[in-house]
Amino acid sequence: MIGGGNSGIEAAIDLAGIVKHVTVLEFAPELKADSVLQKRLYSLPNVTVITNAATKEITGSDNVNGLTYTDRETGEDHHVELEGVFVQIGLIPNTDWLEGTVERNRMGEIIVDKSGATSMPGVFAAGDCTDSAYNQIIISMGSGATASLGAFDYLIRN
Ligand SMILES: Cc1cc2nc3c(=O)[nH]c(=O)nc-3n(C[C@H](O)[C@H](O)[C@H](O)COP(=O)(O)OP(=O)(O)OC[C@H]3O[C@@H](n4cnc5c(N)ncnc54)[C@H](O)[C@@H]3O)c2cc1C
């Protein structure tokens, strides 16, 4: 698991129940996830956490067989043998161009109400760029339908 924020650690906890061993690589000197998640992670016997790790290369020919990272403290490269890599380093919504229009939260996500309406009358938003709770395909599709119905509702009333 690359990434020691909430998403990475939630996914690492999830994976630890399925696979033999999970290695978490975090770029920063410490994990960024909520302490309750870190506590749960460190209670698991089959998880190794490596901090200050700058992932350099995923190795393998037909299948992934390992990963090389640079220890940011010593500058040394290390190789970890593994069978799969999950990247959970976060995404920044591409919403800067909306500056001064619809309201966004500190992560840049567009704030919407339960019908997908933004702070600007007649403007609706859906999917990962909004402050919805989870970023998954089925959720963005559902919120797209919600925003469409919300927009339709707005149009027939205005
Ligand atoms: C590595 C990875 C793995 C994932 N795995 C899963 C999974 O297994 N299952 C699952 O359910 N979800 C998964 N997700 C999440 C899922 O991909 C998203 O929740 C979903 O794609 C969000 O849909 P969306 O339409 O809101 O945004 P997106 O799919 O990101 O679509 C936004 C679109 O808007 C375009 N765009 C951006 N800015 C502008 C602009 N200014 N003007 C015009 N167009 C613009 C972009 O190019 C893009 O095409 C994964 C995401 C990632 C990154």
Convert the pLDDT of each residue in 107-153 to its tens digit.
Answer: 999 999 999 999 999 999 999 999 998 889 999 999 999 999 999 99
**Which of 120, 147, 122 has the alpha carbon at shortest distance from 132?**
147
- H-helix or E-strand containing 137? helix 137-157
Closest atom, ligand 1, to C-alpha of 91: 53
Is residue 26 exposed (0-12), middle (13-18) or buried (19+ Cβ within 10 Å)? buried
Nearest alpha carbon, ligand 1 atom 43: 94
Tell me the residue type at 131. D
- Pick the residue whose CA is nearest to atom 36 on ligand 1: 94
pLDDT of the residue at 92: 86
- What pLDDT is recorded for position 91? 78
Hey, what are 52's tokens?
A: 């200050």
Q: Report pLDDT for 94.
A: 95
Looking at residue 146, its pLDDT comes to: 98
Specify whether the CB–CB gap between 131 and 112 falls below 8 A.
yes
Radius of gyration of the chain (CA): 20
Mean pLDDT of the chain: 96
Strand pairing category for 47-50 and 22-25: parallel
Please give all residues whose beta carbon lies within 6 A of any atom in ligand 1, as ranges.
94, 97, 127-128, 135-138, 140
Nearest to 12 by CA among 24, 26, 20: 24
Look at residue 113 in the predicted model and tell me its pLDDT: 98
- Please, are residues 67 and 82 in contact by the beta-carbon 8 Å criterion? yes
In this prediction, residue 17 has a pLDDT band, given cuts at 50, 70 and 90, of very high
DSSP class per residue in 29-83:
SS--S-HHHHHHHHT-TTEEEE-SEEEEEEEESSSEEEEEEEETTT--EEEEE-S
**pLDDT greater than 90 at residue 90:** no
pTM: 0.78
